[in-house]
Amino acid sequence: PFKPTSLLVTGGAGFIGSNFIHSFIAANPGCDVTNLDCLTYAGNLKNLTAVENNPRYRFIKGDICDASLVATILKERSADAVVHFAAESHVDRSITGPEIFVRTNVLGTQVLLEESRRHWQSGAVPDFRYLQISTDEVYGSLGETGYFTEQTPLAANSPYSASKAGADLLVRAYHETYGMPTLNTRCSNNYGPYHFPEKLIPLMIHNIITKKPLPVYGDGLNVRDWLHVRDHAAAVETVLKHAAPGSVYNIGGNNEWKNIDIVHLVCDLLDARLGRSAGENRSLIAFVKDRPGHDRRYAIDASRLKRDLGWGPAYTFERGIAETIDWYLANQEWVAEVTSGAYREYYTQQYGGK
Ligand code: NAD
């Protein structure tokens, strides 16, 4: 296997990146981790308090589009692997403001690829891997049956997924053109601790606790596959260490849910925990106008990852969702902090300030 000794993680102050850093640092005592993150509204150093004093961890505040900064970090840290999480990640925001998605997700990826190529070709490190974190949304939408495989053509429908698909194609090009040892993972929807409350599950948990309406798009029948964020982190680590350069792997939980069923589940689990009567939280549900271009169904076939590298999820959804709800209940201070200020303005604009 490939054994990294100095890893550059981008976007490590976000939801998935921070969870990845926690598990990777703990499981890899022989590896340093540098986290490059410019701390947008979605980046929060409070996600990383448990590792901030670890001598193998370092945070650098900066932009992935800053080529000279990226080059300096790669060189000074003798980085032999890059795991690229940094992105604009929220579909709704990409509909109202696509430009930043192209800048961060496409241009930012190109800068990282280019600086990684120079660093790798300089021979500064004996071996090197570049791992691009992507999403099943690059494949577009499915009907009631079928699954996305790694061979499914890219057919992104939102500015967010289009920018991620553009980045994935650049990664492919760097492998095909320069022979760079790239890897690309495409994962389904994640849930778990440190998830920013603009996304479905934490938004529902937060609004139920504060007794606010629960906005559900359209008829609520859109289907998503859900994976616990720590399972995603474990899959990424497996691919980084064991996958052949140039490969693409889907990551998924085999765990399809209609949005409305997830909302009902979260409502019911919180009825019990908040001492409310059965069905009380469901009365907060408020259907809202559908998101334009809303993909109907995503379902991912992650069998290649199981077959080639033996990876499968460790969490059952029952355990994962219950633990996630309990984490939010125990971390209300974190929620209050990330939902103050700029987020409040965004929420008012999106849902009319209810
Ligand atoms: P997030 O929005 O929680 O975090 C993104 C992080 O990137 C933030 O810390 C932000 O500050 C940082 N960032 C943004 N622009 C930057 C820039 N120009 N320079 C440096 N840092 C920058 O996102 P997430 O949900 O943790 O997603 C991480 C990655 O995983 C993304 O690439 C996303 O496309 C992908 N992904 C997410 C999901 C999901 O369900 N959340 C599923 C599959 C794939």
Tell me, in angstroms, the distance from the centre of ligand 1 to residue 283's CA: 33
Reported as a pLDDT band with limits 50, 70 and 90, residue 353 is low
Please state the rounded mean pLDDT for residues 217-237.
96
Q: How are beta strands 6-10 and 129-135 bridged, if at all?
A: unpaired
The answer, yes or no, to whether any atom of ligand 1 lies below 6 A from the CB of 11, is yes
Reported as a pLDDT band with limits 50, 70 and 90, residue 349 is confident
Please state the rounded mean pLDDT for residues 31-56.
95
% pLDDT > 90, the chain: 92
Above 60 in pLDDT, residue 109?
A: yes
Q: Is the ipTM of this complex over 0.90?
A: yes
Tell me, in angstroms, the distance from the centre of ligand 1 to residue 273's CA: 31
The answer, yes or no, to whether any atom of ligand 1 lies below 6 A from the CB of 142, is no
Number of the ligand 1 atom closest to the C-alpha atom of 13? 9
Nearest-CA residue for ligand 1 atom 10 is 43
Tell me, in angstroms, the distance from the centre of ligand 1 to residue 88's CA: 6
Above 90 in pLDDT, residue 351?
A: no
Exposed, middle or buried by CB within 10 Å (0-12, 13-18, 19+), for 354? exposed
Tell me, in angstroms, the distance from the centre of ligand 1 to residue 159's CA: 15
Please state the rounded mean pLDDT for residues 99-107.
98
pLDDT value, residue 354 = 47
Domain 6-191+228-254+294-314 has CATH 3.40.50.1820: no
Above 70 in pLDDT, residue 341?
A: no
Please state the rounded mean pLDDT for residues 325-347.
84
pLDDT value, residue 157 = 96
The answer, yes or no, to whether any atom of ligand 1 lies below 6 A from the CB of 226, is no
Tell me, in angstroms, the distance from the centre of ligand 1 to residue 134's CA: 10
Report the mean per-residue pLDDT for the chain: 95
Please state the rounded mean pLDDT for residues 237-248.
98
pTM: 0.95
Catalytic residues: 136-137, 160
Exposed, middle or buried by CB within 10 Å (0-12, 13-18, 19+), for 77? middle
The answer, yes or no, to whether any atom of ligand 1 lies below 6 A from the CB of 4, is no
Above 70 in pLDDT, residue 231?
A: yes
Give domain limits for the chain. 6-191+228-254+294-314
The answer, yes or no, to whether any atom of ligand 1 lies below 6 A from the CB of 60, is no
> Which residue do the tokens 């850093």 mark?
21
The answer, yes or no, to whether any atom of ligand 1 lies below 6 A from the CB of 201, is no
Please state the rounded mean pLDDT for residues 51-77.
98
Q: Which of 9, 20, 85 to mutate to test the pocket of ligand 1 (most atoms within 8 A of CB)?
A: 85
The answer, yes or no, to whether any atom of ligand 1 lies below 6 A from the CB of 193, is no
